[in-house]
Amino acid sequence: MRVWLRHSRSAIALGAVALMVAACSSSASDSPNGSSGASSSDESSSAETSSPAGASAAGLEQVTVQVPDDLRAAPFDAPRTARVPQGWTLSVWARTPKPRLLAWTPDGALLVSVPSTGEVLRMQPTGAGPQEDVLLSGLDQPHGMAFAGSTLYVAESDQVDAYDYADGRATNPRTVAAGLPDARSPDLRGAYSHALKSVAVGPDGAVYFSIGSTGNVSAEDRTATPPRATIMRIPPGGGPAAPFATGVRNGTGLAVAPDGTVWTAVNNRDNVAFPEEGPQYGQVVPDYVDENPPESLAKVTPGRELGWPYCNPSGGPANLAFIRDVQTNADGTKLDCAALPPVEQSFGAHSAPLGLGFVDGQLPAPYAAGALAGVHGSWNREPPRAPEVSFFPWRDGGLGDQQTLIGGFQGDDGSRWGRPVAAVVSPDRAVYVSDDYADAIYRLSPP
């Protein structure tokens, strides 16, 4: 039985004033810092490695992350440093177990989805630190959240629900998309790698949500009911959901841009075979797999085809062409990869981009307009792709190349202390970042 309620609870050490980061020590003007790459599987899971796609718009400097005394449980029982834009500050704002995606409410509270507990938390900023309540509980792996006015949409593993939001409460639940696949679906028999779903609402009221693939290569997803590896669309005013984009292996990042277009950040496949003629053709070559295929950041248009599992993006960082997957489409008859429109932008292979959102004028230049993406970092690459928060500048209706907004979560030996999931801009014009590895919410403040 599902229960919708709101009550106070004692969270992990919430109640401290969020302190600013002292911009300290090494003023390292960060040269491009890799868009780290996590496994293409966002639900799997450290030295920061450079990526040709990564860069810093205005130079980064190393700072000590400031942590209130009562939030100093591991990994903050030891000093931690990060790289942020020069003059910006970073602090631990809250601690809570396994936070995932974020959304700001109309009344200025931060919603945090926690799939592992079936809850959506509401964190109300106060002078003494955030006050945490449980807004919704008893849900099935709630993940994506989006507002359309006072209507809150929440994507669970098996359905998308809408609520009326007012006075810090979510009421009148109704299901707008049901029967979505998860591990309990009879035809999947408990095997489903990408159950977490995201949701976004277009300016016309259409609702978009992601359905991830069953696994790394599972072509049967394309003919399933409903089809998996898709971005689905519910028409304005309601109605049955229908595929809007296909061949989207795991479009966990899903957001609406300033011009009303829909974008997705995609976790592409692992262990792709070497595609060029020669002695290594058709073999899984580690050096090739480490850099291929890039993760896609694509504009989602009606009927868009992103190729999986028959075509893989190649090249980049921008305008990536598709090439045949020689394991699944050796003769090119499954799908004509050369006919697919190029992918607009990309992350390094195995970056595992998760949360995606847009900023439109709330931050100072050069970060005033663009996309923010939480990069979870690789699980299957050597050296590992590093976690980070990435920024893609918005230019003339498209996105420029990837830049690092927050880096330094990974040491030179590949060990990690944090893995960002999502980044959103707050009403007070700061960036709030969830981290399900450090069990933390960070606040990044411009000067």
What are the contacts of 160-164 at 24+ separation with CB within 8 A? 160/197, 160/199, 160/207, 160/209, 160/234, 163/4, 163/136
Q: What is the mean pLDDT of the chain?
A: 89
**What is the Cα–Cα distance from 351 to 381, expressed in whole angstroms?**
10
pLDDT of residue 382: 87
- pLDDT band (50, 70, 90) for residue 190: confident
pLDDT of residue 31: 32
418 pLDDT above the threshold of 50: yes
193 pLDDT above the threshold of 90: no
**What is the Cα–Cα distance from 138 to 145, expressed in whole angstroms?**
16
**Over the stretch 118-171, which tens digit does the pLDDT of each residue have?**
999 999 999 888 999 999 999 999 999 999 999 999 999 999 999 999 999 999
Average pLDDT over residues 79-93: 98
Sheet with 345-347, strands from edge to edge, namely 253-256, 262-266, 295-300, 345-347
Q: Show the CA angle centred on residue 92, arms to residues 87 and 96, nearest 5°.
A: 155
Taking alpha carbons only, the member of 431, 427, 418 closest to residue 36 is 418
Continuous segment of H or E residues that includes residue 102: strand 102-104
**Over the stretch 18-68, which tens digit does the pLDDT of each residue have?**
333 333 333 333 333 333 333 344 443 333 333 434 465 569 999 999 999
**What is the Cα–Cα distance from 255 to 372, expressed in whole angstroms?**
10
Superfamily of segment(s) 91-387+416-445: TolB, C-terminal domain (2.120.10.30)
Residue with the larger pLDDT of the pair 14 and 244: 244
8 pLDDT above the threshold of 80: no
DSSP string, 269-337: -SSPPP-SSSTTTTS--HHHHHH-SPEEEEEE-TTEE--TTTEEEES-SSSBEEEE-TTT-TTS-S--G
Q: Note whether 17 and 391 are within 8 A (CB).
A: no
Single-letter amino acid code for the residue at 35: S
288 pLDDT above the threshold of 50: yes
Average pLDDT over residues 90-97: 98
Residue 344 three-state SS: coil
| Nearby residues of 365 by Cβ (< 8 Å), 6 or more positions away | none
Q: Note whether 235 and 181 are within 8 A (CB).
A: no
**Over the stretch 305-354, which tens digit does the pLDDT of each residue have?**
999 999 999 999 999 999 999 999 999 999 999 999 999 999 999 999 99
Average pLDDT over residues 354-379: 97
Phi, psi of 337 (to 5 degrees): -65, -35
Whole-prediction pTM: 0.88
**Over the stretch 373-411, which tens digit does the pLDDT of each residue have?**
999 999 889 899 999 999 999 999 999 999 999 999 999
pLDDT of residue 57: 55
